[in-house]
């Protein structure tokens, strides 16, 4: 529910999925997460207030954030046992169909272009199988990600020949890493239900995905956009700056504020040096 520019992270994720043609939305939640559901609920009191004050632009935003009836489903992960376990908790709701996963704290900014998940689905319609969004990172950072062992590299797409969760940088098979967008086949649930623990003693989605390799097509997509890790303080601040600067309502003002802040900081640095 942390706000990114003018709306919470979860709404950015929902809008990306909706743009990609997703019609049913499953939230895997935990204790004290009721606000996630409430955010997308009908809000008659707020709408009446906005109507009475003639706040049409804000009223349109509220209406645009309402989830279609019968399209939102929730399941609970009672204990934080890992991403793989969280996905397993949604098995009954997903059923026997391919499905997409968005991790809302991984924000991908694609101004003027289709969202990351739209790009993935377009490519998935050609390749089928399983697909992950990938990006290159400094080798020292590979210990934070699931890392690809790559096969045939087509430029925008790359064949996935292996996956390793958070390897030591010296042992990482590449610097091409998975970020929080996935399209997976339902067979993943059979692998997850073994509850095998991996890195950090958690049930890792990466380990289960690795077992699909060789049995189903598996590709990584180098998406067109900029990824921000909103699970970190600096990443969250950077994302807000990027989205704020791209906002037609406040972008110019924000750029002026940042310019002034930068100038003031530089002057203070010079004075301290003197």
Each residue of 251-265: pLDDT tens digit? 999 999 999 988 877
DSSP string across 182-233: EEE-TTHHHHHTT----GGGS--HHHHHHTTBTTB-EEEEE-SSEEEETTSH
Quick one: pLDDT at residue 267? 72
Each residue of 38-60: pLDDT tens digit? 777 776 676 777 778 887 877 77
DSSP 96: S
Each residue of 56-73: pLDDT tens digit? 877 777 677 777 788 889
Pair 25, 73: CB distance under 8 Å: yes
Distances (CA, A) of 188 to 21, 101, 216, 264: 22, 12, 11, 53
**Average pLDDT over all residues of the chain:** 91
CA gap 233, 134 in Å, rounded: 22
Report all structural domains of the chain as residue ranges with CATH numbers, in order of start. 3-263 (3.90.550.10)
CA gap 259, 33 in Å, rounded: 38
pTM score, whole prediction: 0.88
């Amino acid at each position: 529910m942390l706000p990114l520019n003018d709306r919470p992270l979860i709404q950015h994720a929902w809008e990306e999925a909706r743009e990609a043609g997703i019609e049913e939305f499953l939230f895997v939640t935990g204790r004290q997460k009721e606000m996630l559901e409430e955010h997308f609920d009908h809000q008659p009191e707020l709408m009446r207030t906005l109507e009475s004050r003639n706040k049409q632009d804000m009223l349109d935003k509220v209406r645009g954030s309402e989830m279609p009836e019968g399209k939102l489903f929730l399941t609970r992960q009672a204990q934080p046992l890992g991403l793989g376990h969280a996905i397993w908790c949604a098995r009954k709701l997903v059923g026997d169909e391919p499905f997409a996963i968005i991790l809302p704290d991984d924000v991908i900014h694609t101004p003027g272009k289709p969202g990351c998940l739209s790009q993935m689905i377009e490519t998935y319609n050609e390749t089928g199988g399983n697909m992950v969004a990938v990006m290159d990172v400094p080798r020292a950072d590979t210990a934070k990600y699931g890392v690809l062992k790559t096969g045939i590299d087509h430029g925008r797409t790359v064949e996935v020949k292996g996956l390793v969760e958070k390897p030591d940088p010296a042992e990482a098979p590449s610097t091409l890493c998975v970020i929080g967008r996935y399209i997976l086949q339902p067979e993943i649930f059979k692998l997850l239900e073994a509850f095998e623990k991996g890195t950090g003693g958690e049930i890792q989605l990466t380990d289960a995905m690795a077992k699909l390799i060789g049995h189903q097509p598996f590709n990584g997509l180098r998406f067109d956009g900029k990824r921000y890790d909103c699970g970190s303080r600096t990443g969250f601040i950077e994302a807000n700056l990027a989205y704020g600067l791209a906002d037609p309502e406040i972008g110019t003002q924000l750029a002026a504020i940042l310019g002034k802040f930068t100038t003031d900081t530089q002057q203070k640095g010079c004075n301290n040096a003197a």
